[in-house]
């Protein structure tokens, strides 16, 4: 990233009520003041989107039958009468055999949308020059296969061409658009010009592909910033007004950094081609933690499954039939709402005028190693608290920012890979070294961790040590409160050497971008990082105080 250093400034734009709420909450924690009960809100929704995305060619294996897996996916959804979404790539729309499968689908239950990877016929129809590898009409490299490899003017031209063909074919514009990566500029253009109701993009996957994301909502739905599609917008004036969904249901414990699934390959998601999506016991675990008995659920509990046809029939059918059967069973029991992605996007927008709190919690470890994971996401930050053996630590805290720009908002990506970030406070993947953990650890050895919801925006994690003492982590929309513990952070010199206390805040730099986190607690540098000690028994990190 090439950005000039700039600092966050104090701003309460529309959030003064939230700040007052934080002050009151601190009083509840420190002095035991009773809080009036708010009117109960409807129970959080548990939603499944079945999204199958379809390419018209794959030069990596020209002999691969791309129609057979697509037809099988459609037949499975029809067999169980499931709402579903099919996203068609530009070149798939041009194929008569692909369109025959579309016509055979249940039109009442099947949404047809757009899978937006850039392909040769789209580029040439738009009057631009295709620069893919020799003989490749589609290329998984960012340059030339994704919109950020083009200027903003060219992105508009390519969007217009894709939407033109779609409307000429189907009589309307697509309401759902997906891609492994979409840039903020193109998202905003498609939302404003064509009325797109839902986007979907890749989850974090540091162990595979060229599409690198670090930060933002771990899972679920959010309105992205117009300057950075990965960052949830703090102020809706700066937001793309259409929600974006993370794809394919990440594992809250193991979908982090370079973690892999149960076998020798595969990201830990619900994708049916990987072992985590093919193993029935693990698939059932996903449904337990996201739908059947989710612990600490706030906001939307969002699941997605489906697969691109490029994996082929044999690989996809190893996992998808069992998943679809289980989805239908959970729908019939009323535990899971199965929806078209456009309908989920439309309802999210109707119920949430701004970004809302969402959690993903796994108090059960399918590997039987006792790990427990708590993800908390809000418009100000995300955080992950992990229990691993007797250790309890934050392995991730990222701020959201309306001014932190994605790298290719204005520039063109000329390489094969694109990396997107939000400003990190703690990030094990980014800051770990041979002798430094990269995490923020609570002192002591822990025997248990439990979670509970205090209200519709507050999650409380209570941990008991082996000596009988307890620590509490309270996650609210803008702040993290830790009671009964000292926090120790270790990280790379490049990050920790720029960190220092300025007045009531910790100041830090990432990618030439300076930002602050308000701290109530004692701060002390160490050889490997820093130490935070409580004041009046509590450490408070206020991530909603210093915003853009």
Interval 467-478: pLDDT, tens = 999 999 999 999
Reply yes or no on whether the pLDDT at 64 is more than 70. yes
Better-predicted residue by pLDDT, 5 or 342: 342
The residues facing 211 across adjacent strands are 418
Q: What's the average model confidence in pLDDT over 129-147?
A: 95
Would you say the C-alpha torsion 266, 269, 273, 274 has a positive or negative sign? positive
Mean local confidence (pLDDT), 226-239 = 98
Residues 191-222: tens digit of each pLDDT: 999 999 999 999 887 656 768 899 999 999 99
**Higher model confidence: residue 284 or residue 262?**
284
Write down the pLDDT at residue 209.
72
The residues spanned by each domain of the chain are 46-351
**Mean pLDDT, rounded, for 430-435:** 96
User: Taking Cα atoms as reference points, which of 304, 328, 108, 93 lies closest to residue 202?
Assistant: 304
* Helix ranges (DSSP H) in 295-449: 313-316, 320-332, 341-351, 428-431
Whether residue 30 is predicted with pLDDT greater than 90 in this model: the reply is no
The one-character DSSP state at 148 is G
Nearest-angstrom CA–CA distance, 216 and 232: 6
Q: Annotate 465-489 with DSSP letters as a single string.
A: ETTS-EEEEEE-SSEEEEES--EEE
**Per-residue pLDDT for 9 more than 80?**
no
Q: Any bridge partners for residue 50, and if so which? A: 305
Per the prediction, the chain carries an average pLDDT of: 92
| DSSP string covering 173-193 | --SEEE-S---HHHHHHHHHH
Rounded to 10 deg, the angle between the 96-104 and 67-79 helix axes is 10
40 pLDDT higher than 70: no
Give the pair of three-digit tokens for residue 77.
């959804």
pTM: 0.92
* Closest to 196 in 3D by CA, of 162, 236, 243, 139: 243
pLDDT digits 0-9 by tens, 90-133 = 999 999 999 999 999 999 999 999 999 999 999 999 999 999 99
Q: What pLDDT was estimated at residue 208?
A: 65
**Among 357, 360, 390, residue whose Cα is nearest residue 374:** 360
Kindly give the residue spans of alpha helices, DSSP state H, lying in 395-457.
Answer: 428-431
The residue-averaged pLDDT of 54-76 equals 97
Nearest to 492 by CA among 429, 541, 443, 441: 429
Question: How many angstroms separate the CA atoms of 89 and 99, rounded?
Answer: 12
Neighbours of 494 (CB within 10 A): 11
The alpha carbon of 18 is separated from its chain's Cα centroid by a whole number of angstroms, namely: 24
pLDDT tens-digit profile of 318-329? 999 999 999 999
Residue 20's pLDDT is 38
Joined together, the tokens standing for residue 491 give: 């990280």
Q: Is the pLDDT of residue 423 over 90?
A: yes
Tell whether the model's pLDDT for residue 21 goes beyond 60: no
CATH of 46-351, picked from 1.20.1630.10, 3.30.450.20, 3.40.50.2000, 3.20.20.510, is 3.20.20.510
Whether 7 shows a pLDDT value over 80: the answer reads no
Cα 439 to Cα 443: distance, rounded to the nearest angstrom:
12
Q: Based on C-alpha coordinates, what's the Rg of the chain?
A: 23
204 neighbors 254 (Cβ within 8 angstroms): no
Cα 387 to Cα 394: distance, rounded to the nearest angstrom: 9
Structure letter (DSSP) for residue 503: T
- Dihedral over alpha carbons 499, 505, 511, 512 (to 10 degrees): -90
Round to whole Å and give the CA distance between 225 and 400: 9
Higher pLDDT, 7 or 134: 134
User: Bridge partners of 110?
Assistant: 84
- The encoded tokens of residue 141 equal 């490299």
Q: How many CB atoms lie within 10 A of CB 265?
A: 10
Q: Give yes or no for residue 71 having a pLDDT over 90.
A: yes
Ranges of H-type helices in 440-538: 493-496
pLDDT for 25 equals: 45
């Amino acid at each position: 990233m090439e950005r000039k250093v700039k600092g966050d400034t104090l701003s309460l734009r529309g959030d003064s009520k939230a700040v007052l709420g934080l002050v009151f909450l601190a009083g509840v924690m420190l002095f035991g003041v009773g809080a009036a009960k708010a009117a109960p809100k409807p129970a959080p929704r548990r939603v499944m989107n079945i999204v199958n995305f379809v390419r018209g060619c794959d030069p990596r294996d020209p002999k691969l039958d791309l129609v057979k897996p697509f037809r099988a996916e459609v037949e499975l959804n029809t067999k169980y009468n499931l709402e579903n979404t099919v996203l068609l790539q530009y070149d798939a729309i041009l194929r008569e055999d692909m369109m025959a499968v579309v016509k055979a689908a249940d039109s009442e239950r099947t949404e047809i949308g757009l899978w937006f990877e850039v392909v040769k016929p789209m580029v040439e129809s738009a009057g631009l020059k295709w620069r893919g590898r020799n003989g490749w009409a589609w290329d998984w490299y960012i340059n030339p296969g994704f919109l950020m490899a083009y200027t903003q003017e060219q992105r508009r031209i390519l969007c217009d061409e894709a939407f033109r063909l779609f409307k000429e074919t189907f009589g309307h514009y697509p309401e759902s658009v997906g891609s492994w990566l979409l840039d903020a500029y193109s998202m905003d253009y498609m939302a404003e010009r064509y009325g797109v109701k839902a986007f979907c993009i890749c989850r974090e996957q540091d162990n595979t592909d060229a599409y690198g994301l670090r930060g933002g909502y771990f899972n679920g739905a959010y309105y992205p910033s117009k300057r950075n599609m990965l960052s949830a917008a703090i102020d809706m004036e700066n937001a793309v007004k259409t929600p974006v969904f993370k794809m394919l249901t990440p594992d809250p414990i193991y979908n982090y950094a370079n973690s892999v699934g149960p076998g020798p390959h595969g990201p830990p998601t619900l994708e049916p081609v990987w072992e985590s999506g093919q193993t029935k016991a693990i698939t059932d675990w996903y449904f337990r933690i996201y739908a059947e008995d989710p612990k600490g659920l706030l906001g939307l509990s969002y699941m997605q499954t489906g697969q691109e046809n490029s994996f082929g029939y044999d690989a996809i059918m190893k996992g998808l039939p069992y998943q679809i059967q289980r989805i239908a069973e959970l729908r019939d029991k009323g535990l899971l709402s199965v929806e078209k992605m456009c309908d989920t996007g439309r309802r999210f927008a109707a119920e949430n005028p701004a970004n809302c709190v969402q959690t993903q919690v796994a108090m059960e470890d399918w590997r039987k190693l006792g790990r427990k994971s708590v993800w908390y996401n809000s418009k100000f930050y995300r955080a992950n608290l992990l229990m691993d053996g007797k250790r309890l630590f934050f392995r991730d805290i990222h701020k959201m920012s309306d001014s932190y720009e994605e790298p290719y908002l204005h520039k063109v990506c000329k390489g094969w890979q694109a990396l997107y970030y939000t400003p990190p406070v703690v990030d094990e993947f980014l800051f770990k070294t041979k002798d430094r953990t990269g995490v923020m650890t609570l002192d002591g050895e822990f025997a248990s961790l439990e979670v509970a919801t205090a209200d519709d925006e507050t999650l409380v994690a209570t941990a008991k040590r082996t000596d009988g003492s307890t620590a509490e982590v309270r996650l609210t929309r803008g702040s993290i409160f830790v009671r009964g513990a000292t926090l120790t952070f270790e990280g790379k010199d490049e990050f920790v050497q720029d960190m220092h206390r300025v007045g009531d805040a910790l100041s830090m730099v990432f990618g030439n971008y300076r930002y602050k986190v308000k701290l109530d607690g004692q701060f002390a540098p160490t050889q490997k990082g820093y130490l935070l000690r409580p004041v009046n028994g509590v450490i408070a990190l206020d991530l909603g105080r210093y915003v853009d």
